[in-house]
Structure 1
Amino acid sequence: MKHTLFSRLLRDRGGNFGIMTAAMLPVLLGVAGVAIDVTNAMQEKNRLQALADAATLAAASAMADTGEMTEAEAETMATNYFLGPELENQKNKGASDAENADTRKALEEAMQVTATTTASSNTAASYEVRMKLNYDLPLNGLTGVLGFKTIKIAVESYAQSGREGNALSMYLALDESGSMKDYTSTVNPAQPTKQESYPCGWKTCYRTVPNYLTKMASLKAAAAAMFAELDKADPNKELIRVGGDSYTHETKTEQKIQWGTTDIAAYVKKLPEPPSGGTDASGAMTNALNALKKANATEKTAHDGKGNTNFDRYIVLMTDGEMTGNSSSWNSTIDKKVRALCDQAKTDGLTDAEKADGISEEEKARGIKIYAIAFMAPQKGKELLNYCASGEDYYYEPTNMTQLVQSFGEIARKAAKTGTRLTN
């Protein structure tokens, strides 16, 4: 009897599934946990990579923009740029201040940020910011069944900013007519107020009023910003040549194109305050065209001497008014003359056949490119400068000093082809 019961027990398979399930359950839970954690890890890696890219790019751009940021300052900026959004993300998930402090410490220990500045003999400085992160991401409890507590996430980002090595010759045609003595809406930060006299009965009284900057003072500040950008792009004065001429209804003595910005900066500083006279840009534009045109070998010879086999040619035409000549009324003859000079500049170097067939964008790029700035100008002035500009990206219409300074600075960066690029 005992033998029979024992034999039946051995042959019974009724509980095998339960036993096998109990034995395999931890493994099944672990596998499910791994699948969840792998998906989460990939999402987290992508998110951290995006943060790292944004951080290195921001720091590299800032180094190039200021030109004065130290490597240590750039490293701190990149670190904070990364940690700020990440800690905010943890806080939104419910992390306490203490937990956020632990997260910050862990990330700082896992992060390596380096910023470097390099320079070569014929270009401006190049700025590089690199970030590496090897972070242990905690796993969920299901994966812990298999004995794994964390998974390592590796992120690396590299950003570089700097000048592309563009050689150029630039000529400024600047308005110094009487309307340039008018005030802008910008208060002089160095002396925000001034005393103004006014009659009060039998005596003269004085009151304090805002001290607004004139258009001429604004132009000088904007030109200084441009020259600073050009100097930053070409510290060794081997790539960029600048000259210029100012005008009223008469064309003033020009500043010949020279290497760097020293001579033209001194020229602009000496523009008269208060200015006077009417407006006729045709003489200054003629001088600009003659200085830069292909038939004049001066610029090519100068650039060849520095090893610049190719260089771009730019005219910066600025006015705050319309073409009036020595009067207060718009002069259509002068306006047409300036337009014709702009056409000649933009097509300089093209053959007659190319001009007759219509000018393509590629052919336009071979001519002299014109940046046009209509500073607080009336409609006729805007229409003229919009016509002269070499495209939408070459036309500016600032209405105050801040915008004027930004315009001149942006023109310098565009012409010098200063840019920021990201490499991972």
Structure 2
Amino acid sequence: MRRFLKDRSGNFAIFTALMLVPVFGAAGLALDYSNALSIKTEIQGVADSAALAAIAESSAGVEQAYSMHGDGEVPLGASEALKFFKAQIEADTGYELDKVTAKVVKQNGRLFSVVDYRATVPTTLSKVLGKQSITVAGQARVEYQTEVYRDFYLLLDNTPSMGVGATPTDVSIMVANTPDKCAFACHIVKNGHEDKSSYYNLAKSLGVTTRINVVASATAALMDTAQDSRISSNQYRMGVYTFGERAEDTRLLEVVSPTTDLKSAKAKAAKIDLMSIPKQGYDNDQQTDFDRALTQVGEKMGNAGSGLTANDPEKILFFVSDGVGDSYKPTDCTKKTTGGRCQEPIDIRHCQALKDKGYKIAILYTTYLPLPTNGWYNTWIKPFQDEIPRKMKACASPELFFEVSPTEGISEAMNQLFLKIVNTPRLTG
């Protein structure tokens, strides 16, 4: 026995054999836990979706909650969450679902949707260590506030480019009736007096509708939608702004200060008109200063709130434009300039600055119409035509971008975008 204990020959092979089990076990444990984590992420995504589906605006759960006189559980919401969850994982393999529960509760004007789950994931190599399975569990929680207080700041581009015909037919009529084949209804006012020979008046006499006419009408109609959608009279405040009344004084113009009197706001919004210019080519047509407008409206908006009370409302910038800036910007223009004149898609740096302050930005992009008969367009705008919608979408907060073509209804699009904002539940954990 003494000689056996002193004998060291063959010990490498023995120790190697002894170490194989824990080495393979540890490697297997890492792989199995990685697989379990992947499966948990997958199930969590389904749980999030189920919790959201339970209190979507069109769901039976929300309808039942609205009909309740007080607080309490909403059985239909819980049923919808479970139904959605089970439908999504029905074909999934690789784990066994041990438990899933759902609850939807109405409390203090808010709906809370909660989905809990637990699943067992079989192991593979970890079995050599005696571990047969890994348990994963989690919770999805969604809050839907039935009465979110919001301040909307409607920034409407009323600069000369918005004097273009509202539809291809309107554009064709203007081109056919102007000696220079101009599609824009330039609004010329000299020394406070309307120039009766301007294309603005020509458009009116021809029955042509311009883009700004449609935007003004749609903004007025939006006030009705907001009034019909609100639960209490002070839930939404609306402020309306343009780029200015006159080209000689281009600055943010407050058409309607933020108010809950939406009937009054509607009347004022309906009167919004195209910015006037004293003559063709005034100030090298540099009246569309997006950078300045976004900065100035941001100064008006104040601190972004939670939306839980009327004194702490969410702040939403609702921006309607054709997406092409034209201003004096000689140093940091994103495109080539001419004499300091900068024609470019919207500079999203100014959008990001607003989003960094907690504001949401909703963009209604009124498609910039190609003007192939216009030499200025072909030289300066056509080269970046494809970038215009992409930059406008990048300016918007996620899911709050809407492009409306001339053949579609701007009023309907504004309503849809507004309703999307006010009907969006929030995933809270």
Q: What TM-score range do you get, normalising by the shorter chain?
A: 0.3 to 0.5
TM-score of the two chains, using structure 1 as the length reference: 0.44
Larger Rg: 1
TM-score of the two chains, using structure 2 as the length reference: 0.43
The structure with the greater share of residues assigned to helix is 1
